Amino acid sequence: METHRLILIVSLFFVLFLMWDAWQRDYGPKPPVPTQVSQTTGDTTQPEAFVRNADIPDAPVSVSKETAAGETPVEAREIFSSAQRVHIVTDVLDLEIDTKGGDIRKAMLFKYPTSNDTPDEPYALMNDSMPNVFIAQTGIVSSNDAPDHHAIYIAEKTMYRIEDGKDELKVDLSWGSNDVNIIKTYTLKRGSYVVDIDYSISSKTDWSGRLYSQFQRAVGEDNSSRFIYTYTGGVVSSKDKPYEKISFDDMKDAGFKRNIEGGWAAMIQHYFLGAWIPAKDVTNYYYTKVLDGDRYIIGIVAPETKVNAGGNETVSTRLYVGPKLQNELEAIAPHLELTIDYGWLTIIAKPIFWLLNFIESIIKNWGWSIIILTILIKLAFYKLSETSYRSMANMKKLHPRMTALKERYGDDKQKLQQAMMEMYKKEKINPLGGCLPILVQIPVFIALYWVLLESVEMRQAPFILWITDLSAKDPYFVLPVIMGISMYIQQKLNPAPIDPIQQKVMMTLPFIFTVFFAFFPSGLVLYWVVNNTLSILQQWVINKRITGSA
């Protein structure tokens, strides 16, 4: 029967799609990365030091437009050497800054525990220990005296904490030479994952230099499920390409060197990210670099800053280090919310997340929110589902006659098909009518799959009883088993295939999907269970009306 063939194809398509999507993200062809993009405004050429691939510049910085694009700055001379640690604590962030370079060496997120078993242990997004190195570095390259990320700063204290009743915390690190004094200031605000970094430069002589900001990270250990894929790597945003992945393999193979107005550069992972956000109206140089084959850099070099003798100037950048909170990211920088990677179905996924988030804001439980969302989606597709179930019910009503045709014509498939088509025409039944409405709903399900997989709000979100984390698999596999049972019941409500081989294949699908979904996030399986249950009720009622029995 064509209906069952299409159901089988649709089911296999969905499983294969998820496998293909994960493979494509890991191993699919990557677009060529241009080595240089022309700009119409500003002096965006790279310093001569970058061209020579020097660790620390030892020659004048070239600012002429004839300078060729080349390698990017600042390779670590010593791996993670340290001077003195400065501890900074707000209500949401716990940072460790090293006075060597003034780098952020550790970043802990108070509101996101490492696991449900350790609720008092904040998640470590950044750290300087292999194999999961992830640190944020800033510095200045200059032909004059200037501090890169190897320079030693001086801090007044080793512990800073945002005070009760205050919404802002400033931490100053000072560096100086005979002619130049620089204050590097970290500004953090209550409830915010944004860190403002300002360099206040005063010089006795004419001075020029360029601020750079970069992430350095290793690939680290992969603790994700083999059935679930999420992207970890670099991302760059520009006006032409709001969300462009620069994977670790891309950095190794071709690197990335481009002049971009505004934009941002990030290192992202499942649920969390770090992003450098320069000024919107300034053209900066974006770059990547590979160190020792196992550490990767993505960063930004700002245009040249000049200070006249006896003068003062300030150059700034912004850092986001925290969770992928869609509403907050949209307000921080254009397109930063795209780091919540819903893939090619973003246009469907974003409204689904908005609705899910709205429901949760009322009932304060993500599991019940998923159930209510499922009911609303089912209502939205009610007419399509009704058309599908009516078609299947009519096919079930004709099943005895189809079996009789099968017995009459035996192995003569051509005559069997002709006889079946004549019967469909006489009874005014479309054999594909039961499956086409299902095809329309597949993009919605896939979009919801990515919403539940990518949304940090699902991380460690409890539902009821044994389900304490909707982003993790069901620890006792209860939901996957219920889902498999619901699929089996649905099959019993549908007309059975007349082909014995198709019957056997269809009967294996509930078992296959049960095993497959055993490793899926319980929030997604919860959606599937509720959707199947509602479908069973709807199909049972329609079967009762048309055939007189379920």
Tally of CA atoms within 13 A in the half-sphere of 76 that contains its CB = 24
Q: Where are the domains of the chain?
A: 37-77+84-332, 350-547
Residue 367 DSSP SS3: helix
C-alpha distance from residue 227 to each of 298, 314, 411, 550 (Å): 29, 49, 41, 36
Give the span between the Cα atoms of 550 and 545, in whole angstroms. Answer: 9
Residue among 354, 392, 391 at smallest CA distance from 376: 354
Does residue 258 contact residue 286 with C-beta atoms inside 8 Å?
Answer: yes
Give the span between the Cα atoms of 128 and 81, in whole angstroms. Answer: 10
Give 32: exposed, middle or buried? Use CB within 10 Å, 0-12, 13-18, 19+. Answer: exposed
What is the reported pTM?
0.79
Angle (CA) 419-432-485 rounded to 5° is 110
CATH T-level assignment (fold) for domain 37-77+84-332:
Beta-galactosidase; Chain A, domain 5 (2.70.98)
- Name the strand (E) or helix (H) holding 382: helix 382-397
- Amino acid letter, residue 315: V
Give the span between the Cα atoms of 380 and 212, in whole angstroms. Answer: 50
Q: What is the pLDDT of residues 20-60, one digit of tens each?
A: 555 444 444 444 433 333 333 334 445 444 433 333 323 33
Can you give the three-state secondary structure of 220-270, one letter per residue? CCCCCCCCCCCCCEEEEECCCCCCEEECHHHHHHCCCEEEEECCEEEEECC
Q: What is the pLDDT of residues 236-289, one digit of tens each?
A: 999 999 999 999 999 998 889 999 999 999 999 999 999 999 988 899 999 999
pLDDT tens per residue, the chain (550 residues)? Answer: 444 444 444 555 555 555 555 544 444 444 443 333 333 333 444 544 443 333 332 333 333 333 333 344 444 334 678 889 999 999 999 999 999 999 999 999 999 999 888 888 999 999 998 888 999 999 999 888 889 999 999 999 999 999 998 999 999 999 998 899 999 999 999 999 999 999 999 999 999 999 999 999 998 765 555 556 788 999 999 999 999 999 999 999 888 999 999 999 999 999 999 999 998 889 999 999 998 878 899 999 999 999 999 999 999 999 999 999 988 999 999 999 999 988 888 899 999 999 999 999 999 999 999 999 999 988 888 777 776 666 666 666 666 777 777 667 776 777 777 777 777 777 666 665 556 566 777 788 888 888 888 999 999 999 988 999 998 889 999 999 999 999 888 877 766 665 667 667 777 888 888 888 888 889 989 988 998 898 888 778 776 765 555 5
